[in-house]
Amino acid sequence: MASSTPLVEMKNISIAFGGIHAVDNASVHLHAGEVVALLGHNGAGKSTLIKILSGAYKRDAGTIFVNGEEAQISNPRDAKKYGIETIYQTLALADNVDAAANVFLGRELRTRWGTLDDVAMESETRKVMGRLNPRFQRFKEPVMRLSGGQRQSVAIARAIYFDARILIMDEPTAALGPQETQQVSELVRQLKSEGIGIFLISHDIHDVFGLADRVVVMKNGQVVGTARTEDVTEDEVLGMIILGKCPAGAIPGPGALSSTPAAA
């Protein structure tokens, strides 16, 4: 995996708001079939960095590559063009309609007479859900009646149906119980098996160690370090988050305590 071209690479990314560097010279990469967890306190810069990739924010400096070629991402439409989809914590689902209506929300299939093709949309939703979560059977119910894990299935199905290869998941297990968290874990493993790369934003280190191949820790807008989860302990990652201290098993970044401070 390490020798192949990254699915996506963000190099020396910076953005400032009102003179404050929210992200400062940050670099991260993601390979196909890999889960990379972005960790850090609120305000560390992880969400801002990912919003640059998703097109929600426009970077001040730095370069983004997708499959080794420079990508021009200025808005969410650009990101989708490169196969980048975001599953926000709120999931952005329409609660009063069913799974198929949510999968095709804004991109509805129509008959030759111009009416909604509900049969085709349900058929396609059943196909993608059969691939993603074969146990899902509640196709006719409004998504407001679904469990948290089932709602995640619908949101992810919408992304991968439209050919997402790079998936951003924002706190996917927040407020979920153990059984629903396990469902989401199974979804992530299925996506990995299909070669989809996942950036996982999370505050739950336990979930991260169960799902992620690598962790990237940010603090004060900079990358403290990156490490394979098998090379570091949870306590060492906590030390990176809280103290900015990079352990022996991690590759230090500009924000590491032991590195030379970045120029203003």
Bridge partners for 168 per DSSP: 86, 199
Q: Could you tell me the CA-to-CA distances from 31 to 4, 68, 241 in Å, in that order?
A: 8, 11, 23
What gap in Å lies between CA 28 and CA 201, rounded to an integer?
13
What gap in Å lies between CA 9 and CA 83, rounded to an integer?
14
| pLDDT attached to residue 88 | 80
Closest of 167, 180, 202, 178 to residue 38, by C-alpha: 202
| pLDDT attached to residue 147 | 87
What gap in Å lies between CA 1 and CA 168, rounded to an integer?
20
Sheet bearing 61-66, strands edge to edge: 20-30, 8-17, 61-66, 69-70
Residue ranges of the chain with per-residue pLDDT less than 70: 1-3, 175, 258-264
What gap in Å lies between CA 6 and CA 164, rounded to an integer?
15
| pLDDT attached to residue 96 | 94
| pLDDT attached to residue 258 | 53
| pLDDT attached to residue 208 | 83
Q: Could you tell me the CA-to-CA distances from 115 to 94, 118, 227, 238 in Å, in that order?
A: 20, 9, 51, 54
pLDDT digits (tens, 9 = 90+) for 108-120: 999 999 999 999 9
pTM of the predicted protein model: 0.87
Contacts with 46 (C-beta within 8 Å, 6 or more apart), sequence order: 38, 39, 40, 201, 216, 218
pLDDT digits (tens, 9 = 90+) for 98-150: 999 999 998 899 999 999 999 999 999 999 999 888 889 999 999 999 988 88
Q: Could you tell me the CA-to-CA distances from 90 to 106, 155, 169 in Å, in that order?
A: 18, 10, 11
Largest CA distance in the chain: 66
| pLDDT attached to residue 260 | 40
Please count the other Cβ atoms lying within 10 Å of the Cβ belonging to residue 250. Answer: 24
**C-alpha 219, offset from chain centre:** 19
**Domain 1-83+165-264: which CATH class?**
alpha beta
Per-domain residue ranges of the chain: 1-83+165-264, 96-163
